[in-house]
Structure 1
Amino acid sequence: MVILEANHLKLSIKDRLLLDVDKLQVGKDDRIGLVGRNGSGKTTLLEVLAGKRDSEGGTVTARGTLELLPQLKRTDTVKSGGEVTQEYINQVLAKRPELLMADEPTTHLDKEHIEWFEKKLARWPGALLLVSHDRMFLDKICTKIWELSDGKITEYKGNYSAYAEQKEVERQQHELAYEKYEKKKQQLEAALHTKETKAARATKVPKNKSVESGASKPYFAKKQKKLDKAAGAIKTRLEKLEKVEKMREAAPIKMNLHNEESFKGRVVIRVEDVGGKVGQRVLWKPTRFTIKGGEKLAIIGSNGSGKTTLVKKLLEQGAGITVSPAAKIGYFSQNIATLDVNQTIFENVRSSSVQEESFIRTVLARLHFYREDVHKPVSVLSGGERMKVALAKLFVSEVNMLLLDEPTNFLDLESVEALESLLQEYEGSIVFVSHDRRFIEKVATRILEINAQEIQLFDGSFQEYLEFEPQNERDEQAEQLLLIETRISEVLSRLSITPSEELENEFQALLAEKRKIMSERM
């Protein structure tokens, strides 16, 4: 059953055709992730489908109830962003629409509440159409991906990872097509050169030929005409050869890192007996840890646990925090006030850079600002694009440690993946706060968790952290299991001699307790 159908949708903003969609259908069991670059029209499409915005042409037909969970939510409240998002989610789910559309629903939610929402949607009986930059969320929820690009929708089967694999296949096919095109083009150009050279020589009478009667001249003229015709045919084939553009390749990053020799692998920040408080509320008890040059430390924890407070303490270098003279820290907190809107992208980034122009251009290209794009004034950029410029400006400045507070907010998926790649190659230290689980998984080499007023550090990737089970907990379970098995043996022995309902009940209870511990250890 089709819950929603749209036909021949068109919508322009200023002179740009934003939507040009022939046909869309959402079935009653569909779970669709809508992806695309910042400014591609994802939010606009949801609003048109939900009847919140009119299109210039086309029709939208709803055959069931639908609700839209908007990206921009009310701010006239003392509640946190996460609390407001949860409130909106609960209100929409309570209406039980047959089609739920949601625009960046995990924004401001911490890891626990994202997982809570995922479980809600896993049991959701209706259809879903979601816009999200959270790839793990799209992986767990979606069975179909719609990619919006240049106003058109392309559909891909599977979750986000399946979509990414299909895009990689498309990229490889494009590379093969480009190689085939280049090879054919070179063959035709070589053949054309040969024919043109022969045609130029055709009117010249060879030295061993007699020219007394001039009888040979028509022969060579005819030969030249034939060669010219063949050359013309090759030119036509060249002109009709379907051009395939070369794929842009990501240039490697090798930067001149500030104080590299005295920085890498050495302790650059030492935290000793530092606690965290907001008013009288304890965020974390006094703790101690170190950060080394070249480490990439992710700070995780629930909303309100003190992640940003910890980052600011590191930045301010208060009591108990020692920073090596070799470390030079740069801070990013989604603040784009550092940008001069009257300057171009390149001028903004170069203004505080100690790197060469070629390196600046490489970094900008890695963040998808290509060639003449770098000369656009910042004033015409979207919010997400300005975020990328601010990140690039910090990246190429005279620093060797980046403190990043939610750097992926407001970035589209393509930009998040570009930033991941850039940070993976960065040879300085990175300390960052993020709720984006895939981003943490890709970038972090060490995890710092704030939980229940305690700070715990884990040396390893995010995936290893998720799979880790403290040894003392396993030892305690092993001892408990051994004790239960001993009691089971005793009860069985007594049952064999004097069976009773009381002993049978005790036996069944012990078996249930054993099964529970075994399942927890799996």
Structure 2
Amino acid sequence: MSIHVMTLSHFVGLKKVLDAVQMEIDPHQKVALVGKNGSGKSTLLKLIAGELTPDAGTVQTMGKVAVVQQLPPDLHITLTDHLTPPALRQAREHLEAAESLLADPTEENLSLYAKAEEVFRELGGWDFSQRMEQLLSELGLPERQLLSQLSGGQLRRVMLARVMLENADIYLLDEPTNHLDVQGKKTLVQWIRDSSATMVLASHDRAFMDQVATRTLVLERGHLTAFAGGYSKAMQQKQELETAQMRDHQAQSRKVDALTQEVQALKSSARSSNTFNHKRAGNQALIMAKNKAEYAGNQADKQARAMERRVERLREQMPDKPYQDRQQLVIPESLPTQYPNDLVRLEGLDTFCTHNIHLTLKKGMRVALLGENGSGKSTLLKALQSSNPAVLIGSHVKVYFCGQHHEELQQHKTMLDALLYSNPKLKLAEVYNILGHLDLPRDPRMEIAGLSGGERTRLSLACLSVTDAHLLLLDEPTNHLDIQSIEALEDFLLAFGGGMVFASHDQRLVEKVATHTLTLQGQGHVLVDR
């Protein structure tokens, strides 16, 4: 139930994502793993699981390891068949075969049955169906459907359910809260808390990590730093540590600078003394005056060399300057400063999932759509973009939509097309500035089809951050974002002068940004002023 990682290094292509990483996780610990997108979190989990071979170092795990699969290998089976572990299915077949032999209750047949029953019991077979049904109900998953008939979000919950039903000693979960609604997260949190297994949770969900993590590992520039407690407590410790490191670094730097200036002064004195001026000798004998000057110069030079050695030792002992990530969102000054007061009004809007919605959205209102998966949040956002007569968009109000899978980018060919659609006033220099700060390809005319998943995410964020729209419609805007980007997004949304409607399962985002919440409940809805 423990994990030991020793001097682990690994390359992805030419990039060294892990550099002599050391990590020990004791039994029963629930460890959060955080870091920017591309920092190597998923790679580290695959190395621990044995799916990858490290370029250097070793990984040792004590106990059975379970991981969340990316996609089920066979989509043409039922949900219950997929969730039943192969070992348990085989144990059930052996038990049924042994049970059929009990018609002839010989000592051999009784022994076969006892052994088969013991294996089945140890695998949790007797209560497996009950546990599976309860878990499927809590996660809102249909029992009898084929996997091919499920949505992407439902498949993600299926993969999570598969892991939760396994009897493992170590669980490795990569973004386990993605696509989970409030009830799904509640089920996951309770399962983690109740489990005695060791868990490593790579996540960007801050509230979730605060709820379950007993320890937090921060992966940054290939190095791993451990902090006690959940995410918030770890970030506070990290900030205090970096502040202390910066203070020590600056104090040592000031000392080095002062001594360096003193060295320069001594060297200048030595040069001056060694350049004998007979006019300064006065009534002294010239030879005596010259010797005296040379002695003073030699002493100053000796002191300078000794002090230089001291400066060199101080430089070697200099505390490292804390790493400061300079990458941040750049919002050009060409954003609109005037927003109309009335943005949109819903007068009895009906959708497939909700009925008779009345809502008036004014400037400054930030409405969070809440509700379980399938309650109609995405459907309502689509309706707000439609020509439905119950949706009354204000005069000259520009609407910008940002989808959870970056659907807004599909209509554009190049990055420049997408950015200029978001804000036609952008200057080319501003476009280059945005691409540079978000680590996007430097050619604005590069086609979006050639971008990686992470680059599409950053481009979507860039388009949102520069839009000149008055009304924002956001569907799960924090999906695929790392914590740094989520916090930058929060700052932008709080500073945005127009209005917005956004659907999100990110509890912290809702708490920090929303001025109102609209909870969709079956055929009803509840608007709450926060």
1:223 counterpart = 2:264: no
Equivalent residue in structure 1 for 2:338, among 252, 261, 264: 261
Deviations 1:245-276 (A, max 9, x none): 4746798988647553353xx22222222111
Whole-angstrom CA distance in 2 between matches of 1:63 and 1:259: 58
In structure 2, the residue matched to 1:272 is: 347
In structure 2, the residue matched to 1:45 is: 44
Whole-angstrom CA distance in 2 between matches of 1:335 and 1:251: 20
In structure 2, the residue matched to 1:493 is: none
Equivalent residue in structure 2 for 1:110, among 181, 203, 206: 181
**1:254 and 1:392, CA in 2 relative to 1: closer, same or farther beyond 3 A?**
closer
Deviations 1:292-321 (A, max 9, x none): 223222222111111112112222353122
1:394 counterpart = 2:464: yes
Deviations 1:29-79 (A, max 9, x none): 111112222122222222222223333444444432221123455676121
In structure 2, the residue matched to 1:327 is: 397
| TM-score computed with the length of structure 2 as normaliser | 0.73
Letter aligned with residue 101 of structure 1: L
Letter aligned with residue 120 of structure 1: W
Please report how far the alpha carbon of residue 217 of structure 1 lies from its aligned counterpart in structure 2 after TM superposition: 3.7
| Unmatched segments (≥5 aa) in structure 2 | 76-146
In structure 1, the residue matched to 2:62 is: 63
1:244-323 to 2 correspondences below 5 Å: 244-245=320-321, 247=324, 256=333, 258-263=335-340, 266-277=341-352, 283-323=353-393
Whole-angstrom CA distance in 2 between matches of 1:168 and 1:177: 14
In structure 2, the residue matched to 1:32 is: 31
**1:17 and 1:249, CA in 2 relative to 1: closer, same or farther beyond 3 A?**
closer
Whole-angstrom CA distance in 2 between matches of 1:402 and 1:6: 45
Aligned partners of 2:39 and 2:220 also within 8 Å: yes
Aligned partners of 2:5 and 2:59 also within 8 Å: yes
Letter aligned with residue 348 of structure 2: D
Deviations 1:378-420 (A, max 9, x none): 7897523431232113321332333222121112223222322
Aligned partners of 1:256 and 1:355 also within 8 Å: no
Deviations 1:166-218 (A, max 9, x none): 11112322332343244334423543454455456544749775288544344
Whole-angstrom CA distance in 2 between matches of 1:224 and 1:127: 69
Please report how far the alpha carbon of residue 143 of structure 1 lies from its aligned counterpart in structure 2 after TM superposition: 0.6
In structure 1, the residue matched to 2:474 is: 404
Of stretches 293-302 and 47-56 in structure 1, the one that deviates more from structure 2 is 47-56
Aligned partners of 1:34 and 1:132 also within 8 Å: yes
Of stretches 205-214 and 19-28 in structure 1, the one that deviates more from structure 2 is 205-214
Whole-angstrom CA distance in 1 between matches of 2:192 and 2:419: 42
In structure 1, the residue matched to 2:230 is: 159
**1:342 and 1:453, CA in 2 relative to 1: closer, same or farther beyond 3 A?**
closer
Letter aligned with residue 219 of structure 2: L
1:86 counterpart = 2:157: yes
1:179 counterpart = 2:250: yes
- Three-state SS of the structure 2 residue aligned to 1:302 is coil
Aligned partners of 1:181 and 1:244 also within 8 Å: no
Of stretches 430-439 and 323-332 in structure 1, the one that deviates more from structure 2 is 323-332
Whole-angstrom CA distance in 2 between matches of 1:314 and 1:6: 51
Letter aligned with residue 50 of structure 2: G
1:432 counterpart = 2:502: yes
Please report how far the alpha carbon of residue 356 of structure 1 lies from its aligned counterpart in structure 2 after TM superposition: 6.8
Equivalent residue in structure 1 for 2:282, among 189, 210, 215: 210
**1:235 and 1:167, CA in 2 relative to 1: closer, same or farther beyond 3 A?**
same
In structure 1, the residue matched to 2:17 is: 18
Please report how far the alpha carbon of residue 284 of structure 1 lies from its aligned counterpart in structure 2 after TM superposition: 0.9
Please report how far the alpha carbon of residue 442 of structure 1 lies from its aligned counterpart in structure 2 after TM superposition: 2.2
Please report how far the alpha carbon of residue 355 of structure 1 lies from its aligned counterpart in structure 2 after TM superposition: 5.3
Tell me the matched-pair count.
Answer: 447
Whole-angstrom CA distance in 1 between matches of 2:283 and 2:426: 70
In structure 1, the residue matched to 2:104 is: none
Please report how far the alpha carbon of residue 238 of structure 1 lies from its aligned counterpart in structure 2 after TM superposition: 4.8
Whole-angstrom CA distance in 1 between matches of 2:429 and 2:247: 29
Whole-angstrom CA distance in 2 between matches of 1:224 and 1:270: 86
1:70-149 to 2 correspondences below 5 Å: 70-72=69-71, 77-149=148-220
Aligned partners of 1:8 and 1:22 also within 8 Å: yes
Whole-angstrom CA distance in 1 between matches of 2:356 and 2:43: 48
**1:209 and 1:7, CA in 2 relative to 1: closer, same or farther beyond 3 A?**
closer
Of stretches 60-69 and 380-389 in structure 1, the one that deviates more from structure 2 is 380-389
Aligned partners of 2:363 and 2:498 also within 8 Å: yes
1:170 counterpart = 2:241: yes
State, as a whole percentage, how many aligned pairs show the same letter.
28
- Three-state SS of the structure 2 residue aligned to 1:109 is coil
Deviations 1:124-180 (A, max 9, x none): 232222112111111111111222233333222211122111111123223323432
Aligned partners of 2:402 and 2:408 also within 8 Å: no
- Three-state SS of the structure 2 residue aligned to 1:260 is coil
Aligned partners of 1:297 and 1:430 also within 8 Å: yes
Whole-angstrom CA distance in 2 between matches of 1:442 and 1:397: 21
The structure with higher relative contact order (CA 8 Å, sep 6+) is 2
Whole-angstrom CA distance in 1 between matches of 2:148 and 2:509: 30
Whole-angstrom CA distance in 2 between matches of 1:126 and 1:310: 40
Aligned partners of 2:156 and 2:179 also within 8 Å: yes
